[in-house]
Amino acid sequence: MSAPSHATELPRVQTPLPGPRSQALFDRIDPHLTGSNADHGIYPLAETGKRGYLIVDADGNTFADHMSAWGASPFGPTPPRVKQAMDAAWNQHGMQISGWLPNTAAFALVEKLAGIAPGRLTRVEYSVSGTLAVEGAVKFMREASCRPLIITFGGQYHGESTYMTAGASSDLSNVSSGRTQYVSGMVMVPYPNRFRSAFRRGPGPFDDCEVLDYLDYLLVQQIHPGQVAGVLIEPVLGEGGIHAPSQAFWDRLGALCKRWGWLLCLDEVQTCMGRCGEMFAMQRWQGIDPDLLLLGKAFAAGGQPIAAILGTDAVMAKTELHLGSTYGFVPAACAGALAGIELIEAGGVLENARELERIFLEVLTPLKAEVPQVGDVRAVGAMAAVEFVQDRASSTPAPAFQYAVHHAVLRRGVLGISQRGKWHYRLQPALTMHPSVFRHSCEAIAEAIREVAKSPPVERGSIQEAVADAQR
């Protein structure tokens, strides 16, 4: 039998985790790391390289990569055309601060973005990370509207700066504690969620427009709509468990924005460039008309760091803001991002992402009827999640069950996204991952869930206690 190609090679774990060589590396390096970076409980392995869609650790174990550098490596191994484009731009321009010295590498990417941007989006601001893009968007909204307040939604993630961690919760309070209380100007409402209501107990499905009923209440009781500059929202909730709002929600939110003159900013840092089966996640719905749209992660195509703010003429044409950074839109990063967009336009990438969505739902949805702890199974393109509950009647979250499943899955050679205290387990594979590798991973997850369900771990008495345990 011939050896499998890198594209279809399946993972294999042959040592305990961590293996002895990984542990030896931890012992050497941990004394020089911060406490959080020296915590290997979630991922007990030391990567030494990648092979196809697999991560290889120091002990020779291989894991199917469903983290994809948090989406920043959307094609698995960086495609040769992306590498070649970056090399050519580096040889031609070297390092350059595009926001100060105009150059043709940045211009080429700006023209491409203007050509593919949806709706009224015609302008581009340079940035280097999703966090800085969000910070810049808040400044644009306030400048354009001459209003102070920004509406955000709980469970979103907008970066690690002090200000933006106050505008998000990432569904665990350790992200925002010590920050939210001391930053003004952010108004947070629950993210639209058809599985779990912030206002009612028990299992869904719920009407996800009820969060807008709550917003209407706030507009009467706490804030005047004329004080609101804009709305900052992820089209698909990422860190909070892969929730996609209904068309009715988008219709009503759009009507609110038009009625009160709010700017609509879509944070597509996690969802852009094919992640949700379309170039932009907003294209899964009809009639969404953003004033700003943020790009990051997959926008880099697995190359150098880059991010961008897309905006309308009304918001950006006459701005006095200058938000560029030293590394925003450096020539090599621009060339890599442009090559990534062209790779998607060549065909096959979006179709494969939709096929991964189909496989995930096909394999894991039946567990909702089989395993009491499987509360919901969700996928939007190549973003997917299983949400775990203690019982279906109350839908009480089961973070201990999730964490046990994560480790059972790791032992089977599948590396997904997990965190202590969370009750949903996520996958974010490469958009181009071979369907056979992805199906193998989904079947391994189903097997791990059944294993843990035979002897489920004891859950803490409340979500707050579980979160407190996770923060210790």
Question: Of 378 and 157, which is predicted with more confidence?
Answer: 378
Q: Are 214 and 189 in contact (CB under 8 A)?
A: yes
- Give the Cβ contact number of residue 134 at 10 Å: 30
The pLDDT tens digits of the residues spanning 139-160 come to 999 999 999 999 999 889 887 7
The pLDDT tens digits of the residues spanning 194-226 come to 999 999 988 889 999 999 999 999 998 889 999
C-alpha angle 29-52-339 in degrees, rounded to nearest 5 = 100
Q: Tokens standing for 58?
A: 């120091």
Q: Tokens standing for 181?
A: 């209380």
In this model, does residue 472 exceed pLDDT 80? no
Ramachandran class of 262: left when φ > 0, alpha when ψ lies in -120 to 50, beta otherwise: beta
| Fold designation for 80-345 | Aspartate Aminotransferase; domain 2 (3.40.640)
Q: What gap in Å lies between CA 418 and CA 283, rounded to an integer?
A: 28
Q: What gap in Å lies between CA 406 and CA 424, rounded to an integer?
A: 10
Residues forming beta bridges with residue 126, ordered by sequence position: 308
Mean pLDDT of the chain: 93
CATH of domain 20-77+349-471: 3.90.1150.10
- Helix (H) or strand (E) holding 315, with range, is helix 313-316
Structural Rg of the chain based on CA atoms: 22
How do the domains of the chain map onto residue ranges?
Answer: 20-77+349-471, 80-345
The pLDDT tens digits of the residues spanning 99-136 come to 999 999 999 999 999 999 999 999 999 999 999 999 99
Q: What gap in Å lies between CA 85 and CA 238, rounded to an integer?
A: 30
Q: Are 168 and 152 in contact (CB under 8 A)?
A: yes
Residue carrying the six token digits 């040769």: 80
DSSP letter assigned to residue 409 = H
Distances, alpha carbon 404 to alpha carbons 39, 151, 401, 419, 466, in Å: 17, 36, 5, 11, 14
As a whole number, mean pLDDT of residues 451-460 equals 95
Q: What gap in Å lies between CA 362 and CA 255, rounded to an integer?
A: 36
HSE-up (13 A, CA, CB side) for residue 333 = 24
Question: Is 448 buried (19+), middle (13-18) or exposed (0-12) by CB count in 10 A?
Answer: buried
Asked whether the CA dihedral 405, 409, 410, 411 is positive or negative, the reply is: positive
